[in-house]
Structure 1
Amino acid sequence: MRAFFAAALVVVATVLAPFVITAAWGYERTSDVDAYVETVAPLAEEPELRDELADELGVATVAALEENLPFALPDQVDQQVADAAEAVVRSPGFPEFWREANRDLHAEFMALAHDGTDADDDAWVRIDISPLFQDVLERLAGQGLSALSLPEMTLEVPLVRESTLLEQRDNYLLLEDVARIGPWVVGGLLLAAVVIAPGVRGRLRTAGFGSLGIALAAGVTMLASGPLSDRAAEEAEQGRSGLVRLITEVVLESLGPHARNIGLVALAVGIVLLLASYWSRRARG
């Protein structure tokens, strides 16, 4: 009977583990600014991100010139602006800009998640690309357009409505609770299973199967990460900036490696414990 209850606890822990692994990963990526920034930093090398920002810069720069100059722009200026915007997003300084911009963005997300109670339906969470805009203007000046004097301007790209984020606030708080409590619950179930298992060999075997259960849960999480990423990216793209989809994709893609690392460790520990239980039986024999 003790062996049956021990096995039942291992099964329950295994069933809960994928949710806990996912919640712990998600909470770390969203609550820890350094973890978030390190996750999205590689996006700075993605052509799609650079093209998206280059387009935003080009359109904003042309609009600013048309609004602030008393004469019509010659046709070739559009191409000069586009070329300057391309050069800026491919410059060596762009990755550092991207990291700092996301650090500021993370602070705004967290403020809404923890403190936001009401939001204007028309208010957006935005990413400030003013430094890139100024770089574009400097490059244009270097191409002989120094006469184009513009007032200091702020350029922000809208990502997602604040009200949309607040709709997900309860889900985030639930994620936070699961991430904090879940590992203790799963660990407690496995510890209880080991304690009630009969004999030294039974406890080693229970611990081994518990570790293999965690490895199995990690494998399930890895398999689910792909469809989860696709669905989240599709939802993120609806009525929002394409940058949201890119950020969502790259964050969710980190779930698979995270689960794989947990699975490999758990698998190794499980095999060692099961082998130990086997040798324990031989020693007794």
Structure 2
Amino acid sequence: MNPASSPDSPDSGGAAPPKDVMTAEERAEYERLRRHAALRQRRVRQVGASVLLLLTLLLAPLAVVAAWVQDTVSDTDRYVQTVAPLASEPAVQDAVINRLTDRVVDNVDVAAVTDSLTKALQDAGAPPRVVEGAESLEAPLRNAVRTVVDRTVTRVITSDTFQQVWEGANRRSHAAVVNMLTGDRKGALRAEGDTVQLDVGEVVDQVRERLVDAGFEKAAAIPDTDRTITLFETEELGKAQDTMRLLDVLGTWLPVLTVVLAVLAVWTAPAHRVMLMITATGAGVMMVVLLVALAVVRRVYLDSVPPAALPTDAAAAIYDTFVRFLRDSTRTLLVVAVITALVAYLYGPGRPARAVRTAADRGTTAAGRGLRRAGVRTGSTGRWLTNHRAWTTGGVIAAGALALVLWNHPTVGAVALILGIALAVLIVVAILAAAAGPTVGHEDRAAAP
């Protein structure tokens, strides 16, 4: 007897063991448990996506503001671009002209001039009427002085020279402050511990060189020591430098964190397209909230500035100039959010979305057939584009998004340009795909009776 065989084995000719078959009740219970597990998993994913979406929407306006502040505070070129228009703003120019004119006129003692003239006339024995006329010259003389000073100051402030001096002064001062706050040893102003020091080494070198050129040979022995002057000591300098470092971190990584949270929210959600549409819509709403907040802050700022200190139109021009890049970035993100939500909707099953896709397909198909009738066929290239349409479309969209990310400070115009190029490329790709002739098999079947 073969020990490997048994009465129930097929080799021994016995009957096969019965298979485990679930009953109807067991099958129903299994399906119920599976649906319950799937529903639970779906709910967990929805909760996780909702939390990530909430964090994204809360951080979105903060990320925009942090990036703007960090960009303006730490980048000298960006700061100069921000404040440069103030030198040519008419309201600001008028405020500066009036302020300088008042200072100059106040320093001119017109009363002393008229008093001296009156005394001189009295000493010379002039008639009383002439002396009284000299005493009444104070107001006309003051007006004349003011007119001359105002004309001179206006000519200087409205010239191109003032624009250049304004930009140069702001560039030097901003670079010096940034070097001090970041601990960079470049530039004349630098921080050493809790002290702010001014490096006068270049000045010492120039003075020594000019003295030697003027014939003072002993000036060459001026030592190189004491090339720095301590301006002031403060315990707050360390806090200011820490704030600057924190600002660099927030301005750089907070936008990145916000984008990562948005991507995770879309990826975690069961319905990716719907969550993408919701995320884009929410981001757009938060950008609108930020624009409204900027308008409210503008009103509060104008109400807090006394007209005697700064005219309202000049204060409004200063505020609008300082926050214009923040407004531009917010509007750009709003347009990007609207476009993203619209694209996500057009990929959905809605009737308007299907109508738009159908109209686009008909248009590109008709254009492709026109090219074929004109003798232009794309052949295998067109058929490859037809078979990989989803990949080509995704590649064009990804290329547009990458171009927008790499664009230095994109504006609404840049978004419109990239969107137009992407749409044109998609239309051309669809037409080339439609211009492909039928395959060989299709040609044979078409020629068969």
Identify the residue that residue 183 of structure 1 maps to in structure 2.
Answer: 255
Report the alpha carbon displacement of residue 264 of structure 1 after superposing the two structures with TM: 0.7
Question: How many angstroms apart in 2 are the aligned matches of 1:277 and 1:260?
Answer: 26
- 2:339 maps to a residue whose letter is A
Question: How many angstroms apart in 2 are the aligned matches of 1:109 and 1:63?
Answer: 33
1:27 partnered with 2:96: no
Report the alpha carbon displacement of residue 59 of structure 1 after superposing the two structures with TM: 5.4
Alignment of 1:166-177 (within 5 A): 169=240, 172-177=244-249
- The gaps in structure 1 that reach 5 residues or longer are 67-71, 121-161
Identical-residue share of aligned pairs (%): 26
Identify the residue that residue 326 of structure 2 maps to in structure 1.
Answer: 255
- 1:261 maps to a residue whose letter is T
1:247-283 Cα shifts (integer Å, max 9, x gaps): 455212442232111111111112202322437x989
Identify the residue that residue 265 of structure 1 maps to in structure 2.
Answer: 336
Query: Could you say if the C-alpha distance between residues 233 and 104 of structure 1 is closer, same or farther in structure 2, counting changes exceeding 3 Å?
Result: farther
Query: Could you say if the C-alpha distance between residues 65 and 167 of structure 1 is closer, same or farther in structure 2, counting changes exceeding 3 Å?
Result: farther
Identify the residue that residue 150 of structure 1 maps to in structure 2.
Answer: none
- 1:191 maps to a residue whose letter is V
Query: Could you say if the C-alpha distance between residues 252 and 44 of structure 1 is closer, same or farther in structure 2, counting changes exceeding 3 Å?
Result: same
- 1:34 maps to a residue whose letter is D
- 2:149 maps to a residue whose letter is V
SS at structure 2 position matched to 1:4: helix
Question: How many angstroms apart in 2 are the aligned matches of 1:247 and 1:114?
Answer: 27
SS at structure 1 position matched to 2:160: coil
Aligned match for 1:222, one of 264, 275, 291:
291
1:169-212 Cα shifts (integer Å, max 9, x gaps): 365544433211211211121222222223xxx11222222222
Aligned partners of 2:194 and 2:238 also within 8 Å: no
1:79 partnered with 2:151: no
Aligned partners of 1:14 and 1:217 also within 8 Å: yes
CA RMSD of aligned residues (A): 4.1
1:112-133 Cα shifts (integer Å, max 9, x gaps): 543467589xxxxxxxxxxxxx
Report the alpha carbon displacement of residue 232 of structure 1 after superposing the two structures with TM: 5.3
Query: Could you say if the C-alpha distance between residues 44 and 108 of structure 1 is closer, same or farther in structure 2, counting changes exceeding 3 Å?
Result: same
* TM-score scaled by length of structure 1: 0.65
**More RCO (CA 8 Å, sep 6+):** 1
* TM-score scaled by length of structure 2: 0.43
Report the alpha carbon displacement of residue 5 of structure 1 after superposing the two structures with TM: 1.7
Question: How many angstroms apart in 1 are the aligned matches of 2:166 and 2:154?
Answer: 15
Identify the residue that residue 31 of structure 2 maps to in structure 1.
Answer: none
Alignment of 1:155-166 (within 5 A): none
Aligned partners of 2:100 and 2:153 also within 8 Å: yes
Question: How many angstroms apart in 1 are the aligned matches of 2:277 and 2:257?
Answer: 18
SS at structure 1 position matched to 2:323: helix
Question: How many angstroms apart in 1 are the aligned matches of 2:76 and 2:302?
Answer: 21
Question: How many angstroms apart in 2 are the aligned matches of 1:222 and 1:276?
Answer: 30
Aligned match for 1:213, one of 277, 282, 302:
282
Deviates more, 1:168-177 or 1:206-215: 168-177
Query: What is the total number of aligned residue pairs between the two structures?
Result: 231
SS at structure 1 position matched to 2:349: helix
Question: How many angstroms apart in 2 are the aligned matches of 1:106 and 1:167?
Answer: 18
Structure with the bigger percentage of helix: 1
Identify the residue that residue 173 of structure 2 maps to in structure 1.
Answer: 105
Identify the residue that residue 137 of structure 1 maps to in structure 2.
Answer: none
Question: How many angstroms apart in 1 are the aligned matches of 2:77 and 2:260?
Answer: 30
Report the alpha carbon displacement of residue 93 of structure 1 after superposing the two structures with TM: 3.1
Query: Could you say if the C-alpha distance between residues 278 and 38 of structure 1 is closer, same or farther in structure 2, counting changes exceeding 3 Å?
Result: farther
- The gaps in structure 2 that reach 5 residues or longer are 1-42, 110-115, 117-140, 184-190, 197-232, 358-449
1:10-66 Cα shifts (integer Å, max 9, x gaps): 122112111111111222222222222222222222223212332454456568888
Identify the residue that residue 58 of structure 2 maps to in structure 1.
Answer: 15
Identify the residue that residue 146 of structure 1 maps to in structure 2.
Answer: none
Identify the residue that residue 430 of structure 2 maps to in structure 1.
Answer: none
Question: How many angstroms apart in 2 are the aligned matches of 1:166 and 1:247?
Answer: 28
Question: How many angstroms apart in 2 are the aligned matches of 1:207 and 1:108?
Answer: 45
Identify the residue that residue 95 of structure 2 maps to in structure 1.
Answer: 52
Question: How many angstroms apart in 2 are the aligned matches of 1:278 and 1:190?
Answer: 23
Aligned partners of 2:182 and 2:244 also within 8 Å: no
SS at structure 2 position matched to 1:278: coil
Question: How many angstroms apart in 1 are the aligned matches of 2:79 and 2:310?
Answer: 19
Question: How many angstroms apart in 1 are the aligned matches of 2:326 and 2:76?
Answer: 17
Larger Cα Rg: Structure 1 or Structure 2?
2
Question: How many angstroms apart in 2 are the aligned matches of 1:248 and 1:213?
Answer: 28
Identify the residue that residue 80 of structure 2 maps to in structure 1.
Answer: 37
Question: How many angstroms apart in 2 are the aligned matches of 1:21 and 1:93?
Answer: 35
Question: How many angstroms apart in 1 are the aligned matches of 2:86 and 2:269?
Answer: 49
Query: Could you say if the C-alpha distance between residues 172 and 216 of structure 1 is closer, same or farther in structure 2, counting changes exceeding 3 Å?
Result: farther
